[in-house]
Amino acid sequence: MEAREQARDAELKKELDATLHARRELGEEYETALVDSFLDKVEQRLDSSVDRRVRRQLAEQQMAVARDARTGRAAGDGWGEGFGFAVVTLVLAIPLSAIAVVNAHLPGLLIAWGGIVGVNALHAGAWPHFGERRRERRERQERRGSDWEE
């Protein structure tokens, strides 16, 4: 790839030399047209470079999605997200438990903890439809991610 870049740099240098030589021969009245022509060539080179990078980025993303599909896991699934959610719900469970016990004694505590377990089960995708919707939403968000990261 580097040899190709060097060849393009050499080609661009030749173009610049030719433009400067033509400017010397033709005079200042053609300077604007010559500069515009050279800048068009530079712009074309930049466009092709950006297109190449975008195609490479899309190909890498498609490969990652295909790899994840083969292994049966959704992109972005990870231990950290589930663990973080579980920790937050357990921290919130302490005041909820206290409030439930003070107001409704043992039945209130059982209801509060049933809700905590239910929320964690929903988040973990224990009910298939809920888990599918979370996965689809995450995939849509990933597709909207930036294509310009290098």
Same domain, 84 and 136: yes
Please state whether the predicted TM-score (pTM) of the whole model is above 0.75: no
Same domain, 38 and 6: yes
- Give me the count of residues in the chain: 150
For 14-24, write each residue's pLDDT tens digit: 988 988 888 88
- Which of 56, 72, 88 represents a domain boundary (last residue)? 72
Confidence of residue 148 (pLDDT cuts 50, 70, 90): very low
Same domain, 82 and 68: no
- Which of 52, 72, 92 represents a domain boundary (last residue)? 72
For 32-84, write each residue's pLDDT tens digit: 888 888 888 888 888 888 888 899 888 888 888 887 777 665 545 556 777 88
Closest CA to 112 of 102, 124, 126: 102
Same domain, 52 and 99: no
Same domain, 39 and 105: no
Full domain range(s) for residue 127: 76-150
- Which of 72, 91, 116 represents a domain boundary (last residue)? 72
Tally the domains of the chain. 2
For 108-142, write each residue's pLDDT tens digit: 999 999 999 988 888 777 665 655 666 677 777 76
Same domain, 55 and 88: no
Same domain, 85 and 63: no
Residue 147 has pLDDT above 50, yes or no: no
